[in-house]
Amino acid sequence: MRYRNTSKSTRQPNFIRGYGFQGSAGAVFNQGAEGFGAAFKQAVKTGTYRISLGAFGESLARDENFVAIDPNLKDVWGVPALHISMTHGGNERALHEDAAASAAEMLEAAGAKNIEIRSTVAEPGMAIHELGTATMGNDPRTSVTNSYCQLHDVKNVFAMDGACFVSSGCQNPTLTMMALAVRACDRLIDRFKKHEI
């Protein structure tokens, strides 16, 4: 759940937008414990316990980030491949530094020991839900699809995935993608019945 930059009291001076956390926990039990009964059970539990918090923040849209047709690389069928150029900016770095400090505070307040802080921003492509490259909008000069995910330039092509997003928030986008796809399908069926596609 996002809690940074949601109001004036939580506004941060070094970055805009916010981030959320996903956590995990695990244990390495003492498998070599000897004995039996309650003493054995207690000895097994004297292993190492770990918990982690990973931050997910918005990657802002930047003119330096783009997708183009690669002039040289082709797939096995001879179709030109995409060239993706993407880097994170200063806002993402500042956001992750704040997230690392916040995670450490939370873990310490929960009683965690031996806290390791890592504030490195993951390389593009590591967050699974990649979004953008075919932005939704009303103006064909500044966007690729209309509000129904239909390409402005190719009327019988709909991009019903995360491509229409301008940027990524800190929330999982899957349900929004599904809602956009259902809306686009309704529009597609309606236009098909009217012989407009």
pTM here is 0.73
What string of H, E and C letters represents the secondary structure of the chain?
CCCCCCCHHHCCCCCCCCEEEEEEEEEECCCCCCCCHHHHHHHHCCCEEEEEEEEEECECCCCCCEEEEEEEEECCCCCEEEEEECCCCHHHHHHHHHHHHHHHHHHHHCCCCCCCCCCCCCCCCCCCCCCCCCCECCCCCCCCECCCCEECCCCCCECCCHHHCCCECCCCCHHHHHHHHHHHHHHHHHHHHCCCC
Per-residue pLDDT of the chain (197 residues; tens, 9 = 90+): 677 888 888 788 899 988 888 889 887 777 777 878 888 888 777 778 889 998 888 888 888 988 899 999 999 999 999 898 888 999 999 999 999 999 999 999 999 999 999 888 888 877 667 788 888 999 999 999 999 999 999 988 999 999 999 877 778 889 999 999 999 999 999 999 999 88
